[in-house]
A = this chain, B = another copy of it.
Amino acid sequence: MAKRFSTETYVKGILAGDRVMLSRAITLVESKLFSDQELAQQVINEVLPHAGKSVRIGITGVPGVGKSTFIEAFGTYLIKEQGKKLAVLAIDPTSQRSGGSILGDKTRMEALSMNPQAYIRPSPAGKSLGGVTRSTRETIILCEAAGFDTIIVETVGVGQSETAVHAMVDFFLLLMLAGAGDELQGIKRGIMEMADAIAITKADEQNVQKARAAKAEYQNALHLYPIGPSGWVPKVSTCSALQNTGLDAIWQTTADYLELTHNNGFFEKKRRDQNLQWMYEAIRQGLEDNFYSHQQVKQQLQSIAEQVKNGQKSAFAAAAELLRLV
C-alpha cells in the first residue's frame, strides 16, 4: 500500500506545483478506500479556493480521428506559442475492458509527456462511468490548484462519456475526419449539437480538398441548429497535426468563445450551473448506490425488472414495490 501523507502535506505540495504530490493526491481521489476518499475530500476542500482559474477544454472524436496526435500537437502549440501550463486528463470508461484505449499509454504523446509545462494523467481504470467522471472532475480541481491554467479533458465520442465531459468543461471541441461517410457512423447522436467547434483533422497532403469540402458541409449543417444560450455560433476549421497547421485558428476560436462568454456572463453562469449540477448528480448517485445495494432490493430487482420488460407489471407499480422494500 502506498504511503499516505497529512492533508497539509498534500495541500502545500499541490499549491507549490509539486507534480509528485499532485499525482499522489489524484491517486487518493481515484481510490475506492473510504479512508482515502475522506482524505481526498479534505485536500480538495483546502485547495478549492485556489482552483477554477483555468480554461477547461473538452475534446472528443471517434477512434481513428487522431485524438492523441492532435492533442500532442495542439498541446505543444499552447505551451510554446501561448505560454500555457497544460494538464491533459481522460475519461474513458471503455479502458476498464480494453486496458486503456486512450492515454493509457503515455508514449502516444511522447513530446507532450516530456514537456515540463505539461502534465498527463491517464483515465482511472476499473471504475464505472460515474466513478470515472467524478474522479476526473476532482482531478481538474487539483490540477488547477497546482497551477495548470489549461485543462484538456479527452474522451471517445462513442458512449455516454461525452455528456459527462461536456458538463465539466467550458469549451467542447469535436474532432472529425473528412469524407463524411462511414467514419461518421461511430459518432453518437447528439454530440454534434454539443460542440462549440468542430475541427476536421488530417487536412494534409491529398486530404486537403476533402477537408475543405467537409468544413463547408459541417458549417452549413451547424447553421441549421439554433444558437444556444451562450450566444456563440459554433465554428468549423481544418487542421493537420502532421504539418502543424490550423492549430492557431483553433486556439483563436477558443479565445473568441472565451471573450464572448466572459463578456456576456455566460462563462461564469455555466461554471456555477455545472457546480450545482454536479452536486445534484452526486446526491442522486448517493441515493441510488444506497438503494441498489440494499439486500432485499438486490434479491428482487431482477425478477421484477423482467416482469416490467415483458409488460406484466407497470413500471410505476414495480418502482413502488421496490421502494417499499427499504
State which residues 267-315 of A face B: CB under 8 Å: 271-272, 275-288, 291, 304-305, 308-315
Contacts A45-B317, A193-B190 given; does A287 touch B291 at CB 8 Å: yes
- Is there contact, CB below 8 Å, between B187 and A316? no
A255 interfacial by beta-carbon distance below 8 Å: no
- Is there contact, CB below 8 Å, between A314 and B226? no
* Chain A positions 172 through 215: 1 when the CB is less than 8 Å from some CB of chain B, otherwise 0: 00000000100011111110111000000000000000000000
Q: Which residue of the partner chain, among B49, B276, B287, contacts A287 with CB atoms under 8 Å?
A: B287
A138 / chain B contacts, CB cutoff of 8 Å:
314, 316
- A316 and B37 CA atoms in complex are apart in Å by 11
Which residue on chain B has the smallest CB distance to residue A297?
B283
A48 / chain B contacts, CB cutoff of 8 Å:
311-314
CB of A229 to closest CB in B, whole Å? 10
- A138 and B275 CA atoms in complex are apart in Å by 35
Which residue on chain B has the smallest CB distance to residue A189?
B193
- Is there contact, CB below 8 Å, between B284 and A284? yes
Interface SS of chain A? helix
- Is there contact, CB below 8 Å, between B322 and A226? no
A87 / chain B contacts, CB cutoff of 8 Å:
none
Q: Which stretch in A9-17, A19-27, A73-81, A216-224 binds the other chain? A: A216-224
A322 / chain B contacts, CB cutoff of 8 Å:
283
A44 interfacial by beta-carbon distance below 8 Å: yes
- Is there contact, CB below 8 Å, between A318 and B226? no
Q: Which residue of the partner chain, among B225, B279, B291, contacts A189 with CB atoms under 8 Å?
A: B225
CB<8 Å pairs between A and B, sample of 29: A44-B317, A45-B314, A49-B312, A51-B311, A137-B315, A138-B314, A138-B316, A180-B224, A184-B224, A185-B226, A189-B194, A190-B190, A192-B193, A192-B225, A221-B224, A272-B310, A276-B309, A278-B308, A278-B316, A279-B305, A279-B316, A279-B318, A279-B319, A282-B319, A282-B320, A283-B319, A285-B319, A287-B287, A287-B323
